[in-house]
Structure 1
Amino acid sequence: MPKSQEEHAKHWDLRDEDFNDNDLLYDVYDVMRAKSSFAYTEKPFLTPDAGGSWVAVSYSACAAILKDWEHFSSNPTPEGAEQLPGDIVITLDPPRQQKFRKVLNPYFSPGRMQQLQPEIRSETDILIDEFIESGAGDLAEVAWRQPGIVFFKYVLGMPIEDVPLCIELTDTALNGTTEDARSAAWGGLYQHLTDAVVAHSEGPPADDMIDVLLNAEIDGQKLAFQDVVGNAMLLVQAGLETTANAMSFAFHYLAKHPDERDRLIREPEIMPYAVEEFIRFAGSIHGIPRTVTGDVEVDGHTFRPGESVQVNYASANRDAAEFPQAERCVLDRRQNRHLGFGAGVHRCLGSNLARLEFRLGLEQVLARIPDFTLATDAQAKFHGNSVTRGFRTVPVTFTPGKLSD
């Protein structure tokens, strides 16, 4: 029998199996925010030895912590640091973090991403072609495979045949049901990326992200090999899991709400707003850790050095103090300063690519199979007791269409 909202709020554990019910989790967040901007959990977040931590659940608290890197460091606790393969940009603080980003930022610039638009649209069409003539298909296949294919083929420089394995390893590493399963998946992903980096280093120069990392210099020194592998792992995780989860939610929502689906077709000018709203509402990431470096007060709570804080993006993005009708998905929401891509110096490096993949995925599905609805002979599968959350299957039916040109 599921525990009560109050009990979950008091003893919060994101990996609790009750949270396969997405609505229950957000109800629990409501209870947590009503009591305070912060809750405390004894449950470790990503590593088994990390101990308990504070959980920031209000928008104001989360935004303040994300923007204050001097008091809330991205450097992990000593226990967490032991799990990391080298210097990773997401776990660094300025000034080294800014130097790292300076190397990577040009590769994710708006201009460079826009150049990929024809390729992303084409790759999406190829995936839709696999089932469009049958009148039935699984839109989660588009949501999960499109970002991986685009990222591996046009950004990272890895074979697209590696995408299914890396999706499986990343998903298990973040969301596996046991610590042993998660650790084994981390190890498998590290070994696979190590082999890929070695192959790149021994091959001819290429215009891809792994070569950028291999040739990058910070303060006059090239990155250590383990730093290259560690950052390649980060890019794989970010490039696969988060966008796929958010897109899978959007497809499920539109299949379940045909009036909203039809509105997006009828009013394509609101698509940019809809993409931002899906990112806010879907909550594909439910936390990122920070370590307190000095005494500091946020929303009336005093933190002490050495304490850990989980910044809960998903709870912040449903905070009614920031978002009117926060519990509703409002496709044309104009004021939407969501934290889906974070904030401050660690704001998501690949947000331009994620938005583009997301928008083109929605546009092509709506254009080519405009009357899709949830299938009645199969159920969508949601994976929810995890750090990242989304639909693993979204079976739909529709009027059969034609293959792309």
Structure 2
Amino acid sequence: MTAAHTAEDIIYDPSDPAVMADPFPVYARLREHDPVHWSPSLKSWIITRYTDVRDLLLSDDLSVKRLTQFYNALPPADAELLKDIIHYLNLWLAFRDPPDHTRVRRIMRHAFTAKAIEDMRPQIIEITDMLLDRLETKGKNDVDLIREYALQLPAFVIMDLLDVPRDMLDDFKEWSDDMAVFIGGARNSGDKYERAARGCQKMSSYFAQLIKERTENPKPGFLMDLINARDEGDKLSEDELIATCILVLFAGHETTTNLIGNATLLLLRHPDQLAKLKADPALIDSTIEEVLRFDGPTNALVRVAAQDHDLHGRQIREGERVFVMVNSANRDPRMFDDADRFDITRQQNRHLTFGQGIHLCLGAKLAREEGRIAVERLFARFPDLALDPSAPPEWLDAMVPRGTRRLPVLLRG
């Protein structure tokens, strides 16, 4: 059987529940037989090898400015519905190329300092312990760890960061979920445009008012730092500030929720590794890095071809959509020894989960810190934590984020 024939036999269907639960076997086949795979259902290229993913993220062959082309091709009614969300998303760092990206990232760096993240550590611990106390006092043994812990922890951290009252969690969760069906590439949501428009309108209105209030009544904190951030006299416009707040809230809580959930699931499914961590808590840093590699919270990053170029004999045309499959790259045996083994003591771990190059995630340090604290204190508080045998995890239906929508656990085995 020729490689070309083998490639034709590979069907990558991200909406298949079996693929949602475990996409890695199909990634392995694609890496081996069709590393530059054209998906007719997605109308996109699927790139799966580590060096290709890394090099493309560093290359000028791809652009992050994929929304304008998509928007211009919409029917007039859909275009009108999505006008606001496209406006704000186009102001996100994640959707801007240089020189706009360079300018905004330079300004934002003045708020996203290492010291600012370090100063948040006591707050993260306080939130974590509060949520664990709640779990302990509820008297229930079976809980959904995502809803009761992994979702709330990073959401409260980000809400505190942006000076949003914690009692607004349900509102922000609803607005964020509405936007996620559009941004995250949900495959089975028929009303995703209506939901995305509603979520964006609610969130942008809230942050516009909050920024106005904070500007008129200054108060120390991250939001004030963001408002005051300057680089050579340049600052963020009002719309850029609103867009940045939405980005920080949306990306800041979703990625970390999935990191905490995936870490817990992996450790419970690999009791030998959990035993190592309990015996040596200093392994928490390498544990989080291995979770990020082995089954990280970012399944793929989406780009559009900025120009025609050739990759492994396939011609990628300008304007075509490209999914660089980060989670596949992180399991490439060409880069990682014994790549399909979950090993919390792994030393060489140059995963691509937070991206590469100019679009390296600004919030990576915060996500790591939250992940370390959340996992360490969860297993310290509930050492007999176990998966609920009567209820399997439910995975997100999405191309970009990777995580469970529900993770039923027993707090005391």
TM class by smaller structure: 0.7 to 0.9
Q: How does 1:258-273 map to 2 (within 5 A)?
A: 258-273=271-286
Q: How does 1:4-83 map to 2 (within 5 A)?
A: 10-20=10-20, 22-23=21-22, 25-44=23-42, 52-68=43-59, 70-76=60-66, 78-80=68-70, 83=86
Instruction: Please name the residue that 1:161 is paired with.
Output: 167
Q: How does 1:2-401 map to 2 (within 5 A)?
A: 10-20=10-20, 22-23=21-22, 25-44=23-42, 52-68=43-59, 70-76=60-66, 78-80=68-70, 83-85=86-88, 86-133=90-137, 134=139, 136=141, 137-140=143-146, 141-153=148-160, 155-175=161-181, 176=186, 178-203=188-213, 204-216=217-229, 222-299=235-312, 301-384=314-397, 386-399=399-412
- How many residue pairs get matched? 384
Question: Structure 1 counterpart of 2:153, which letter?
Answer: Q
Deviation digits for residues 358-390 of structure 1, max 9, x if unmatched?
000011112211221123454433334543221
CA distance in 2, matches of 1:40, 1:84: 30
CA distance in 1, matches of 2:68, 2:165: 35
User: Using a 3 Å threshold, how does the CA distance of structure 1 residues 171 and 294 change in structure 2: closer, same or farther?
Assistant: same
> Which segment is superposed worse, 103-112 or 11-20?
11-20
Question: Structure 1 counterpart of 2:37, which letter?
Answer: A
Question: Structure 2 counterpart of 1:336, which letter?
Answer: N
CA distance in 2, matches of 1:206, 1:116: 17
Does structure 2 retain, via aligned residues, the 8 Å contact 1:62–1:311?
yes
CA distance in 2, matches of 1:226, 1:307: 29
> Which segment is superposed worse, 369-378 or 164-173?
164-173
TM-aligned CA deviation for residue 266 of structure 1:
0.8
Query: Residue 291 of structure 1: SS of its match in structure 2?
Result: strand
User: Using a 3 Å threshold, how does the CA distance of structure 1 residues 15 and 106 change in structure 2: closer, same or farther?
Assistant: farther
TM-aligned CA deviation for residue 338 of structure 1:
0.4
Query: Residue 55 of structure 1: SS of its match in structure 2?
Result: strand
Does structure 2 retain, via aligned residues, the 8 Å contact 1:152–1:159?
yes
CA distance in 1, matches of 2:8, 2:286: 33
CA distance in 2, matches of 1:105, 1:34: 40
TM-score, normalising length from structure 2?
0.84
The runs of 5 or more residues in structure 1 that have no matched partner are 1-5, 45-51, 401-405
User: Using a 3 Å threshold, how does the CA distance of structure 1 residues 265 and 319 change in structure 2: closer, same or farther?
Assistant: same
Instruction: Please name the residue that 1:47 is paired with.
Output: none
The runs of 5 or more residues in structure 2 that have no matched partner are 1-5, 73-85
TM-aligned CA deviation for residue 232 of structure 1:
2.3
Deviation digits for residues 7-33 of structure 1, max 9, x if unmatched?
99744342344433x22x211111111
TM-aligned CA deviation for residue 198 of structure 1:
2.4
Query: Residue 151 of structure 2: SS of its match in structure 1?
Result: helix
> Which segment is superposed worse, 193-202 or 342-351?
193-202
Instruction: Please name the residue that 1:403 is paired with.
Output: none
Does structure 1 retain, via aligned residues, the 8 Å contact 2:332–2:339?
yes
Question: Structure 2 counterpart of 1:39, which letter?
Answer: H
Identity of aligned pairs, percent? 28
TM-aligned CA deviation for residue 165 of structure 1:
3.1
User: Using a 3 Å threshold, how does the CA distance of structure 1 residues 216 and 157 change in structure 2: closer, same or farther?
Assistant: same
CA distance in 2, matches of 1:227, 1:284: 26
> Which segment is superposed worse, 244-253 or 209-218?
209-218
Segments of 4+ in structure 1 off by > 6 A? 6-9
User: Using a 3 Å threshold, how does the CA distance of structure 1 residues 358 and 73 change in structure 2: closer, same or farther?
Assistant: same
- Aligned CA RMSD, in angstroms, stands at 2.7
